[in-house]
Amino acid sequence: MLKQDITNMVLLAGMFLSLFGFAEILYHLAKVKAELTRKLVHIGTGLLTFLFPVMLGNHWFVLTLCASFALILIVSLKYKLLPSINAIDRDSVGSLAYPVAVYGCYLAYDYFHQNYIYFYLPILILAICDPLAALVGKRWPIGKYKVGMDNKTRMGSGAFFLSALILTLLFFFFQRVEKSTSELIFHSFFIAFVAAAVEAYSKRGYDNLTIPASVLLCIIMTERFFTFTPNFL
């Protein structure tokens, strides 16, 4: 088991490095803007982390991976490396907050008897809804507002809420939650609304921490009303 975990950790590390390398190729050779390559890495990293509960049986391996990539990102910021991630025109701690959020969600998953919802739903909303909100807000900048030095739009926030609502509903469905449709919709609405509000008022990339934290808190609150089974269909 230990040997398999080590092998899987090395394999996952290679996948992450390949993702970073692909983003660098797009940035330097294809001249794709850093905002887009950064979003690509954001989504790709989130999807790769879905393999953590499947491939890694101990949180120490997750910590090793997350700490290693946090160190890589710190060095890249200091020496102006990885422009596909770091060459943005605003001050952001998002790339550093991401591995912290992933490890925190894995700890929650481990603490709550390896119930998948505590890991997958926060990471899914962070990986998909957050970059989608940014892309929609740039494409249709309706209802502009500022949070600190960050520019946001109500259109982007709406896209975040709608996508989070759909993802949560789908997740509950595949988790075999035995409750009425109205209850599922209410709890999905609650999680999506809180996460969207937190994203809207988070700045400097801290939404990479506050979004999964808010989703985890909402799940814990809704656990008082109904129970999730720990396995997918």
For the chain, what are the domain ranges?
2-222
Quickly state the pLDDT bin for 230 (edges 50, 70, 90): very low
Between 169 and 89, the higher pLDDT residue = 169
The DSSP letter of residue 150 is E
Above pLDDT 70, what percent of the chain?
91
Give the integer Cα–Cα distance in Å for 56 and 61.
7
Between 14 and 186, the higher pLDDT residue = 14
**Contact of 184 with 175, CB cutoff 8 Å:** no
233: pLDDT strictly greater than 60: no
Give the integer Cα–Cα distance in Å for 8 and 195.
32
Dihedral, 7, 12, 15, 16 alpha carbons, nearest 10: -140
Sign (positive/negative) of CA torsion 102, 107, 109, 114? positive
205: pLDDT strictly greater than 80: no
The end-to-end CA distance of the chain, in Å, is 25
Q: Could you tell me the two tokens for 75?
A: 């060095």
17: pLDDT strictly greater than 50: yes
Which of 8-17, 29-38, 199-208 shows the highest mean pLDDT?
8-17
* Mean pLDDT within 224-229: 58
Quickly state the pLDDT bin for 138 (edges 50, 70, 90): confident
Give the integer Cα–Cα distance in Å for 161 and 218.
14
Q: What is the pLDDT of residue 231?
A: 45
Q: CB within 8 A of 191, min separation 6: which ones?
A: 121, 164, 168, 215, 218, 219, 222
* Mean pLDDT within 185-194: 93
Q: What is the pLDDT of residue 8?
A: 95
* Mean pLDDT within 140-153: 80
